[in-house]
Amino acid sequence: MCSASAAQDRARGAVISVECSMCHGADGIAPSEEVPNIAGQHYAYLLRQLENYQNGRRAGTIMQEVLRGLSRQQLKDVSAYFASIRISVAKVQTGGRDDVSRR
Ligand code: HEC
């Protein structure tokens, strides 16, 4: 993903990502617990999910609607953009807000 064309894909993807940001967050970290984080997710996985939403293989609540009219190249571009976001994962702390053992 270091070639000039990969950089172009990401740059075009960043523009498309504006359409995603109100739900998935500008940086791919979703503000709502109802929406998955997609920052730093693998490119191949992201692209497959988007294709599956578009072709109906994956049922979604809203994603079919969102992706209507996007070309395969646009799906690649936006996948490249979100995959390129670097995330870091903090060490687990028990007893916090997200500690499932407390639910
Ligand atoms: C109106 C809100 C909304 C918008 C806009 C939106 N999404 Fe989503 N997205 C969701 C929700 C909610 C889900 C959870 C699954 C479902 O309901 O389909 C989801 C699921 C996904 C998934 C699957 C994640 C996984 O872990 O499998 C991907 C990938 C994704 N969205 C990418 C995008 C991209 C790229 C855009 C912009 C082109 C976008 N979404 C725009 C709400 C949105």
Domains in the chain: boundaries: 4-87
3-state DSSP helix/strand/coil % of the chain, to nearest 5: 50, 0, 50
Topology of domain 4-87, CATH: Cytochrome Bc1 Complex; Chain D, domain 2 (1.10.760)
Model confidence pLDDT, tens digit, residues 82-100:
999 999 988 887 776 666 6
At residue 1 the predicted structure's pLDDT band, cuts being 50, 70 and 90, is very low
Alpha carbon of 36 to ligand 1 centroid (Å) = 7
* Global pTM value: 0.88
Pocket residue to mutate for ligand 1, from 12, 15, 19, 38, most atoms within 8 A of Cβ: 38
Nearest to 50 by CA among 33, 32, 74: 74
CA 19 to centroid of chain Cα atoms: 11
Res. 9: pLDDT tops 90: yes
At residue 2 the predicted structure's pLDDT band, cuts being 50, 70 and 90, is low
* Per-residue model confidence (pLDDT) at position 17: 97
